[in-house]
Each structure stands twice: as C-alpha cells, then as structure tokens.
Structure 1
Amino acid sequence: MTAIKNDWTPEEIREIYFKPLIELVFEAATVHRKFHNPQKVQIASLLSIKTGGCPEDCAYCPQAARYQTDVDVNKLLDLDTVIGAAQKAKEAGASRFCMGAAWREVRDNRDFDKVLEMVTEVKKMDMEVCCTLGMLTDSQARKLKEAGCKAYNHNIDTSEDYYGEIISTRKYDDRLNTLNHVMDAGITVCSGGIIGMGETDEDRIGLLHTLATLKKHPESVPINKLVRIKGTPLADQEEVPMESMVRMVATARILMPQSMVRLSAGRKEMSTAEQFICFMAGANSIHSGEKLLTTPTANFEEDLEMLKSFGLSPLQANLE
C-alpha cells in the first residue's frame, strides 16, 4: 500500500511532475486503483446562491465588481429555489450539492443564517453538502458543521510566489487560515487551483506542494483550467494544453492518493478524449450541470453518456 505523505519536498514533486507523460499516467493510474474504485466518479453540482458584486480583485473572476463582464449582480436566492435546484441535481445523478456565494468573507448576519438553513435542508435530501462562501472564522466553520455541511471549498488558486500577481485584496495566509478553521471544525476541505493564468511549471509544483503538505490532505482537489472571460484581466491568456491538465491531475493523484481529484472549471473546453486521459490519470470527480457558478459546463445528460461510454458510473453519496 502506498504510504500517505504530508512531508513532500518540492524536489520530490518536481521529479514526479516532469516524468515522461506516459510513465506519469501509468504511475498515477496504479496509485488510483489502490485507493479508489476506478469505475466510479463523483458527480458534484455547483449553484451560485449569491452572484456578482464581489469586492475582491481575483484576475480570473467575472464576479468581481470592478470588472466589466456579463455577470449580473443578484441577491441571495430563496430557500425554495435552492432546494429545487438540489432536487434537480440529485435526480440527474449528482451526489454532492455545492452552494457558492460571491462574498469576500462570511458575515454573521441574516444571510448567513439563511445559508445555514439551506445546508440543513439539502442534507435532509441525502446529499453531501458543500459550501464556498469566502473566508471563514472558526465559529462560522463550526456553525456550518452543526448545520450539516460536509465539505468547504476554498481554492488556494496558485503558488504562494505567484499569488500576488492574481489577487491583491487578500493574502495567501488568509486562504490557509480558512482551511485550518474548516479542518478544525471537522469539515472536509475541498481545495485546488487554476492553471493557465500565466504561471510557470514551478508555480504549479508550488501549488501542489502547499496542498500535499497541509496537516491533512484535502478530501477534494479541484484542478481548474482557466476559463477566459471577456472583461477580466486574464481574458487574453493562451489556451492551456492538454498535457498540462494531465500532468496536474496525475501528480495530484500520486501526492494525495486518498483525495478525490476533480476536473472542474474549463472542462467544457476539453474534448471527450482529453477528459478520458484525465480519468485514466486518476481524476475521479467532476462538476456537472448547466453552469459552474457563472461559467458554462457540460450538462448532466452529456456527462452521464460520456461516463457510460468510458465504463464509468456515478459514485453514491457518503453521508458520514
């Protein structure tokens, strides 16, 4: 059995990341089969429960108030709308329902109370509940846990060295502090990053190093491919080559064997063959539905058909 390591060095990660691609994929596939059923894929659905108007300046995000994009600002959705969306996602095959709000941080107010109610009601539907609401305090994380939140998404986006090129309105340590609050509350961590933002391979290695040396590996590691949105500072970045996505997926699988490695944003732009190679390399989770917050993604019907053609099927919810 491959040992779980939390003391990876950058040099060790670099050696894995730069292996010949065919060898890297084979090694990752071997590790994957030791820890997971290779025929099962978790399907998660992500709903934007409060859209746009965010005060942050994340260079990739169309929800930042300072950028001129096609995203409209909307207030927090009502409970019935959220429950209806969760029910639709469940019927389509999703086992995890994620709720995202374009907040810099959670505030202790009526909106947060409403989110806690949403979490409780979705949990009653026998779905795994995930939230992504921005920065959290320790007490807020514990309230989410009590309400039934299983996972919390808070991506670190890129390496610590490159972080300031992408975001100036918060620090890297702010991200890590929230992850620590989430872990201390007993909520599983969903944290990954985005490639294609102008970073180098060394930055990608740095991103993976941060995740793989947390005190506990994230339960989910989303690998996002930049979706280039008109009006954002990164709109004119070059397309991410398939090899880069495969290297990130495979290296993440080897470093964090027990984690779910998720093909997330940007999957709409990937061909079926490209996605197949990522599944071979250890990806075992996808976001599905009409949108990933505000950006297009593949719909449930297309995804179920694709998975079936690969001999894969949806993973059932883990409600423990």
Structure 2
Amino acid sequence: MPPRIMNVSTLERPIPDAGDAIRHDWARDEIEDLYRLPLLDLVWRAHGVHRAFQDPHDIQHAGLLSIKTGGCPEDCAYCPQSAHHKEVRIDRDGLMAVDAVLEMAERAKNDGASRFCMGAAWRQVRDGQAFDDVLAMVRGVRALDMEACVTLGMLDENQAHRLAEAGLTAYNHNLDTGPEYYPSIVTTRTYQDRLETLKHARAAGLELCCGGIIGMGESIADRAAMLQVLANMNPHPESVPINVLVPVDGTPLENAPPVHPLDLVRMIATARIVTPASRVRLSAGRRDLSPEAQAFCFMAGANSIFHGDSLLTTANAQRDSDAALMCMIGPQD
C-alpha cells in the first residue's frame, strides 16, 4: 500500500503513524509548503512525528574535534579553514597525534558524550600514514564504547570500506545547501562529487551524517531543495545536522545577516517531518540561542547537540550552560 501523503493545507488529518510516515518521494514544493505553515501548526506536526519515531527525552550529546585544522584547498564560502580566504586568522595545525585525540575522546565521554566526531580539513582522503592514523583514532574511539564519526572530505570506495572495517559508525559529508544554490557557495567541487562520496560511504555499510547550513543567503526554496535530496535518499541519513552560519571575519560570508531563531525552528521541524527516523542535530550556531529557543528546537524535533567549547573552529555553548539547560527541560523536583 503506498504511503499516505500528508495534507499540509489544513490540520484536519491526523499525524501519520509509524507505519506510513517514512517516504522517499517528496516533492520540493510539498516540503516548501510544510516549511511555510503557521509556525505552531508546523511544530505540532513535527512533534507528533518525533514522538512516533523517537524517544522525545533522548537528546544525544556528541563531542567534536578538529584533528587537522586549516589549509583546506576547497573554497567553501562559509569556512575559515579554506586556504582561499587569505584574510582569515586561524592557526594551521597538522594532523593530531592518535593518543592526543583519544585523550580528548575520553574526556568527552566523561562529560556525557556517547558519540565522538573528528574532522580533518582535507579536500579528499589520501592513502598513507595520515589515513592510517585516522583509522587508529576510529578504532580507539570505538574501544571507548562510543560511536565514531569522521569528516575527511571526499573518499573512494576502498577508503570507505577501510573506515568500516575500523569500526566507524558514520561518515559526515554535508550537502551544505540545495543543488541550485550550491555553486554560489562552493566552486572547487560539485554537488555530484558530494553525492558520490555519500554513495561510497553507504555502500561500505556506514551510516550517513548529512545535513546543511542556513543563513548563507539561500532562499526558502533552496532550503526545501536540500531537504528534498536528503528525504528522497533510501534509506534516509541516520543523522541530519542543521547548522546556522557562524560568520567569520575574512570569509566571503562575514557580513551575512543573522538567522532568526524561529527560522531555525522551522528548518528543524521540516527536517523532522521528512526524515522522521533520523537524528536531527542542533549544530553550529547554538551558542547564540537562548535556552528558550533551544527548548523550542527540541520541541520541533531536534534530538542531538554537540558539546564542548568549540565546533571545529567556531565557538560553541559552554558545558555549564548545557548542563543547566538539560536540568531546566528535564523533570523537576
């Protein structure tokens, strides 16, 4: 029996149940119509889907570490690690030692993280000692009984299989934005390049962590277009990070206007509806959100945060404020 299409124009039909809500045939205008619903109606729908597929009280904490910083040959307009952005002040560091990375992973676990994510500012994975070290990092994180995720740029089929053999849980490779707007943000690789890397990771049996960024000058239609690509993957990415641009001086997007928190809520709610079984990760930009805005994001379907002082190279919410937030939204004595 084909899945039932949700009526986005009224609230007369009930939220689909777990048996018929997952789809892989979303039309772009259908997703855009969802995004444009009255906000409380949209969040009501998203929260119902969230409860049908997720434990609403389960918010995963993940650690994130830049294991190789700066000097990336890509020209991503948002990224301070690009070698193209000469005015950005950033310390360039080579690949960290395996022991140092595992020490940070253990610290993250002690702080409550169940997932540890490692990012290297590479255009693509190259076989050799550096990749061998990353494989050792993955094995070490898994030995700590944590999920392991890496983002290393493009990779081929063999490299994806080697990561899987090392025990990697998920490969992160974000789409950033919709396919039509993508050339305005990145010119050094194509959208198809990104999709090929995701295909290699999936073929190796890895989970996918794939989302994007809002606030880069894209339209609502572009946001819907990105979600359409994700929602029509079969299976959906297990993890969908939703990032808000953090403008960095010296990058082409340094003067981008701020994103209103309620636009983020809309994006999270729409992502929750179209990828109901995925973890929707409240990612970059969270430091600038009030506790109330973050709670609204959780209500809309977000169920993961990154903790720690930084997200690769930009500031993140402080551990103490995260602990206070979790207490505020949890059961009260």
TM-score (norm 1): 0.96
What is the deviation of 1:14?
1.8
For 1:315, the equivalent position in structure 2 comes to none
What is the deviation of 1:301?
2.9
* 2:266 matches 1:266: no
AA aligned to 2:293 is: E
1:32-111 equivalences under 5 Å are 32-67=50-85, 68-111=87-130
AA aligned to 1:135 is: M
What is the deviation of 1:285?
0.5
Q: Which one scores higher on RCO, CA 8 angstroms, separation ≥ 6?
A: 1
For 1:170, the equivalent position in structure 2 comes to 189
**Residues 35-65 of structure 1: CA distance to partner in whole angstroms, max 9, x if unpaired?**
1111110011110000000000000000001
In 2, the alpha carbon distance for the partners of 1:55 and 1:289 equals 27
For 1:135, the equivalent position in structure 2 comes to 154
Q: Which has the greater radius of gyration?
A: 2
Secondary structure of residue in 2 paired with 1:40: coil
**Residues 96-152 of structure 1: CA distance to partner in whole angstroms, max 9, x if unpaired?**
000100000000111000000110011000000000000010110110000010011
What is the deviation of 1:11?
2.3
Residue 281 of structure 1 is aligned with which of 290, 296, 300? 300
In 1, the alpha carbon distance for the partners of 2:318 and 2:158 equals 36
CA-based RMSD: 0.9
In 2, the alpha carbon distance for the partners of 1:154 and 1:301 equals 30
Secondary structure of residue in 1 paired with 2:149: strand
Unaligned runs of 5+ in 2: 1-16
Deviates more, 1:298-307 or 1:90-99: 298-307
Secondary structure of residue in 1 paired with 2:59: strand
Unaligned runs of 5+ in 1: 313-320
For 1:187, the equivalent position in structure 2 comes to 206
1:168-317 equivalences under 5 Å are 168-311=187-330
CA contact (8 A) 2:32 2:220 kept: no
Identity of aligned residues (%): 54
What is the deviation of 1:69?
1.3
CA contact (8 A) 1:93 1:300 kept: no
CA contact (8 A) 2:62 2:305 kept: yes
Secondary structure of residue in 2 paired with 1:194: strand
For 2:25, the equivalent position in structure 1 comes to 7
For 1:317, the equivalent position in structure 2 comes to none
* 2:175 matches 1:159: no
Aligned residues: 312
What is the deviation of 1:279?
0.5
TM-score (norm 2): 0.92
CA contact (8 A) 1:48 1:100 kept: yes
Residue 117 of structure 1 is aligned with which of 136, 144, 150? 136
